A and B are shown apart, each in its own frame.
Chain A
Amino acid sequence: MNYFNESLTSIHEKLVTKEISAKDLTQETLNNIQAVDGEIKAFLTVDEASAVKDAEQIDQNGIDADNGLSGIPVAIKDNMLTKGMKTTAASKILENFTPMFDATAVEKLKSFGTVTLGKTNMDEFAMGGSTENSAFKVTHNPWDTTKVPGGSSGGSAATVAAGEVLVALGSDTGGSIRQPASFNGVVGMKPTYGRVSRWGLIAFGSSLDQIGPITRNVQDNATVLNAIAGHDQHDLTSSTKEVPDFTSTLNNGVKGMRIGIPTEFMSQGLDDDVKQTVLDAADEFRKLGATVEEVSLPHTKYGVAAYYIISSSEASSNLQRFDGIRYGRRAKDVKNLEDLYVKSRSEGFGDEVKRRIMLGTFSLSAGFYDAYFKKAAQVRTLMNNDFAKVFKDFDLILAPTAPTPAYGIGEDVSDPMTMYMNDVLTLPVNLAGLPGMSIPAGFSNGLPVGVQLIGRPYDELSVYQAGNAFEQDTDFNQQTPKMGGTN
């Protein structure tokens, strides 16, 4: 069974009316993954036995008619800990790591009766934008298998786009949920920093990382965020703010909403079709009753530099824990402890991870700290002030998600600078900790193009509300890729 023409609502109804059992749904989902994933390669691990067992348990307990996630199979990005299920962050250094607890987001989703099918491919430690930096495999874009799925949550976005699952969790440090969502024609939400606990998310940039849902439509996305959001005593940065029902205002429309398009996001380097998609989306929002005007985020051009200093510095600190002692890869034939650290890390990390660790170590090192790390943290303040100023007069920001549609596999990997520049439109949202969601909004030569809706801190409601209004009046998310197999 594939999910091309399904939603959480349609599948939930089938489960409640017993048209299908949770076990059969899981089994048919696994059969489809078996048929399709040889081509897409979205999964690093599929655990059939545990999935079927969990689904049987849900059947025994009975499907909860009031809970739209009861019995729903889900996929989890491989940087979130899953108890008893291998978790590698797509790195050789964690090749044989089996966590002893679930990440809070995973645990919460499970408490709603979801069935974890397996773990999805990603750029190693979430560093990259194409999923080509995985130590294990290259994931293919279901819309055109010669193209990348984006990244770093490329496996999670591709598996939803390929109709393998309805729900996948991703993580977003500089665009890693939204950019692959754009490349794959699916809905990807990065919630406000602090909205979802980071406990059990393998840390990359701790002041930037946030877990969020990837789904086929906006309503499903809001339903999943309802399940995973909320305060967690294990994450000291998780917010104690009340969590609203994110589906409660979905149908309120955008009449009277003020939407700003940042001039700096629409300038040079932007693909013509992507630009047109944003302009068309603006017209659609106007048609639906919103006002759309140009706004300015003047420090945008410094974002890439500030972000790569800050995220690499945080990464260099976070990744110190991989030392070959307590878990993970340990090098053989070592003479002493120093030798063990250096060899284990040098064998275990891929080139991109080494580059980031070195950039971070350099930016934090004696004599360079003020010129690099501190300067970047100050520029971050100025960028955040730019957003705050816009949000005094506007409810939402509309912007392209990525400068281009999905590019060819192998095209970008040789030059890290090109890869870094591709994050220019998504990373400001992480630096400011804002909620941002990519929704399908057009096509370019058969490849999906997404636009991004950015909200005030903790105002995911407006983001979902506008996203749903757009989705209800357009048909971009109803298109499906023409893949081999079951389509």
Chain B
Amino acid sequence: MTEKISEDQVKHVAGLAKLKIDDDQLPYFTTQLDKIIGLFETLSEVDTEGVEPTSSVTDQVNVMREDVAEDWHQQQALLDNAPDTQDGYIRTPTIIDESGENE
């Protein structure tokens, strides 16, 4: 069986999705994804020349509404779900790594 996806590609795709796959898990994920992508490739047997793709089957077209803000009065409930807050704001760690260790 030819390889559909390599360990390096799996690492790359994981990075795009903000996931880290540990090195010892890499062969496990790569083998599984390879098999599934092999299945995906069976679609190449289907003649889709000139066929419009379907992205949704909704019967609604161009749904519009007034662009107005609504106050749900739930600031506290929202903040209660945040992992770290201060003075009514959500706190995050430093955006730029100043230690230089993570490059």
- Chain B residue at minimum C-beta to C-beta distance from A329: B83
Q: A237-B58, A336-B95, A358-B19 are in contact. Are A381 and B81 (CB under 8 A)?
A: no
Query: Which of B16, B39, B74, B90 is close to A100, meaning CB atoms less than 8 Å apart?
Result: B74
Q: How far is the CA of A29 from the CA of B26 in the complex (A)?
A: 47
- B42 in contact with A375 (CB, 8 Å): no
Task: Name B1-60 residues within 8 Å CB distance of A.
Answer: 5, 9-10, 13-14, 16-21, 29, 32-33, 35-37, 39-46, 48, 51-60
Q: Could you tell me the distance in whole angstroms from the C-beta of A455 to the nearest C-beta in chain B?
A: 14
How many A-B Cβ pairs are below 8 Å?
Answer: 189
Count residues on chain B whose CB falls below 8 Å from chain A CBs. 57
> What is the predominant secondary structure among interface residues of chain B facing chain A?
loop
> What is the predominant secondary structure among interface residues of chain A facing chain B?
helix
- A194 in contact with B60 (CB, 8 Å): yes
Task: Name A310-339 residues within 8 Å CB distance of B.
Answer: 316, 320, 323-330, 334-339
- Chain A residue at minimum C-beta to C-beta distance from B4: A362
Count residues on chain A whose CB falls below 8 Å from chain B CBs. 74
Q: Does B99 contact A (CB under 8 A)?
A: yes
Q: Does A354 contact B (CB under 8 A)?
A: yes
- Chain B residue at minimum C-beta to C-beta distance from A323: B18
Q: Does B77 contact A (CB under 8 A)?
A: yes
- B19 in contact with A433 (CB, 8 Å): no
- A207 in contact with B57 (CB, 8 Å): yes
- B5 in contact with A362 (CB, 8 Å): yes
Query: Which of B17, B36, B72, B94 is close to A357, meaning CB atoms less than 8 Å apart?
Result: B17
B80-97 vs A, Cβ < 8 Å mask (1 yes, 0 no): 111110000010111111
- B48 in contact with A382 (CB, 8 Å): yes
- B54 in contact with A380 (CB, 8 Å): yes
Q: Could you tell me the distance in whole angstroms from the C-beta of B5 to the nearest C-beta in chain A?
A: 7
Q: A194-B59, A380-B54 are in contact. Are A302 and B29 (CB under 8 A)?
A: no
Query: Which of B19, B42, B53, B83 is close to A342, meaning CB atoms less than 8 Å apart?
Result: B19
Query: Which of B16, B60, B77, B93 is close to A335, meaning CB atoms less than 8 Å apart?
Result: B93
Interface-lining segment among A10-18, A289-297, A343-351, A445-453: A343-351
- Chain A residue at minimum C-beta to C-beta distance from B100: A335
Q: How far is the CA of A326 from the CA of B53 in the complex (A)?
A: 35
With a CB–CB cut-off of 8 A, which chain A residues contact B57? 193-194, 207, 384, 431-433, 457
Q: Does A378 contact B (CB under 8 A)?
A: yes
Q: A336-B102, A343-B20 are in contact. Are A324 and B56 (CB under 8 A)?
A: no
Q: Could you tell me the distance in whole angstroms from the C-beta of A189 to the nearest C-beta in chain B?
A: 17
Listed in ascending order, the chain B residues whose CB lies under 8 Å from chain A are: 5, 9-10, 13-14, 16-21, 29, 32-33, 35-37, 39-46, 48, 51-60, 63, 65, 72, 74, 77-78, 80-84, 90, 92-97, 99, 101-102
